């Protein structure tokens, strides 16, 4: 049997490539127009080809700066932004994979290892009392493992958000993180009955999730306040902590604090047509505020 190797080639034009193609097209079109204008007349001859090409060249040189300013520069900016966005996307994916691997190894893996060791210790004949004690230990470890699986699953895809909406999902998220990190999270959630568009709910939930994760991991805060309410046609979200705060340029005072989380929140809110604001003072905490339009067409 013959093996067929399939290859896929992606063609991507750079801004300079587009500039060259546009100028070449302008030159050819103008030269063709000039030649067609004298074709079939008594003025047409081989000598008329030269002036036609010269006129086309002059027009191309004159129009080149305009094309550069109106086409190439904006296209180059978009090209650079696309590269930065892809880099951030890949970095975010790798960080999420690393976090998931760490949770599976440190949490679920330890529980399963403890269950295995407990079961191995029960291989020799033991008394009924000892067997009962080990059975209780295995049950407790299995219960902890199940809770770890549920916690990881909620982090990846919040089922409560799909089933019950943003209000219940935000309440559950604050409760879980507060219990896990032993940090007080005071919440004020005032949303009307009913569901918001899916894009708004998942966007607001992910922003809240990232904001709480940043505050818990990097700010050193002992108290976090969450406000989530519907204001007119917009959804207002604010997360305020009493941690170390940010520098004036938005950089973190804590040396290990990443900036990718803040950028991802800004971009997520921007994609929904909203506004994202960071208010922070040195050693007085940070407030992250997002206003997201909620008047999207419901799915």
The residue whose two tokens read 């990718």 is 260
DSSP 245: -
Q: What is the CA radius of gyration of the chain?
A: 31
Q: Which two tokens stand for residue 280?
A: 């922070």
DSSP 246: B
Measured distance CA(190)–CA(171) in Å, rounded: 11
Measured distance CA(247)–CA(277) in Å, rounded: 14
Q: Is 167 exposed, middle or buried (0-12, 13-18, 19+ CB in 10 A)?
A: buried
Hey, what's the torsion of the CAs at 178, 174, 172, 231, to 10 degrees?
A: 170
- The b-or-e profile of 99-136 (16+ CB within 10 A means b, else e) is eeeebeeebbeebeebbeebeeeeeeeeeeeeeeeeee
pTM (two decimals): 0.57
Contact 232, 289 (CB under 8 A): no
Measured distance CA(222)–CA(215) in Å, rounded: 9
> By three-state DSSP, how is residue 16 classified?
helix
Tens of pLDDT, residue by residue, the chain (299 residues): 444 343 334 445 677 777 788 888 878 887 777 766 666 555 555 566 677 777 778 888 888 888 788 877 887 787 777 777 777 777 767 777 777 777 777 777 777 777 777 777 666 666 777 777 777 888 888 887 777 777 776 666 677 888 889 999 999 899 988 888 888 999 999 998 888 888 899 899 999 998 998 888 878 888 999 999 998 889 999 999 988 876 544 444 443 444 667 888 888 898 889 999 998 776 678 899 999 998 644 43
Query: Which residue segments constitute the domains of the chain, with CATH numbers given?
Result: 15-91 (no CATH), 160-299 (3.30.565.10)
């Amino acid at each position: 049997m013959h093996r067929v190797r399939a290859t896929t080639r992606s063609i991507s034009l750079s801004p300079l490539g587009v500039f060259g193609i546009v100028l070449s097209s302008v030159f050819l079109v103008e030269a063709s127009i000039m030649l067609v204008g004298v074709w079939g007349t008594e003025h047409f001859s081989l000598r008329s080809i030269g002036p036609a090409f010269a006129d086309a060249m002059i027009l191309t040189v004159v129009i080149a700066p305009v094309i550069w300013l109106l086409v190439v520069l904006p296209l180059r900016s978009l090209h650079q932004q696309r590269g930065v966005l892809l880099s951030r996307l890949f970095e975010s994916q790798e960080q999420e994979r690393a976090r998931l691997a760490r949770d599976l190894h440190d949490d679920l893996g330890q529980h399963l290892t403890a269950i295995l060791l407990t079961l191995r210790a029960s291989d020799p004949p033991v008394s009924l009392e000892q067997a009962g004690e080990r059975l209780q230990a295995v049950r407790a470890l299995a219960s902890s493992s199940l809770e770890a699986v549920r916690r990881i699953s909620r982090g990846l895809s919040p089922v409560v958000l799909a089933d019950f909406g943003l209000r219940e999902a935000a309440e559950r998220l604050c409760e879980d993180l507060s219990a896990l990190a032993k940090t007080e999270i005071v919440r004020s959630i005032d949303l009307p009955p009913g569901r918001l568009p899916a894009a708004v709910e998942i966007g607001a939930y992910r922003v809240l999730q990232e904001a709480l994760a940043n505050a818990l991991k990097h700010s050193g805060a002992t108290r976090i306040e969450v406000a989530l309410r519907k204001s007119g046609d917009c959804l207002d979200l604010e997360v305020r902590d009493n941690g170390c705060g940010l520098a004036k340029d938005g950089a973190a005072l804590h040396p290990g604090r990443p900036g990718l989380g803040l950028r991802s929140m800004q971009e997520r809110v921007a994609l929904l047509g909203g506004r994202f604001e960071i208010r922070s003072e040195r050693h007085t905490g940070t407030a992250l505020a997002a206003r997201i339009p909620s008047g999207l067409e419901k799915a």
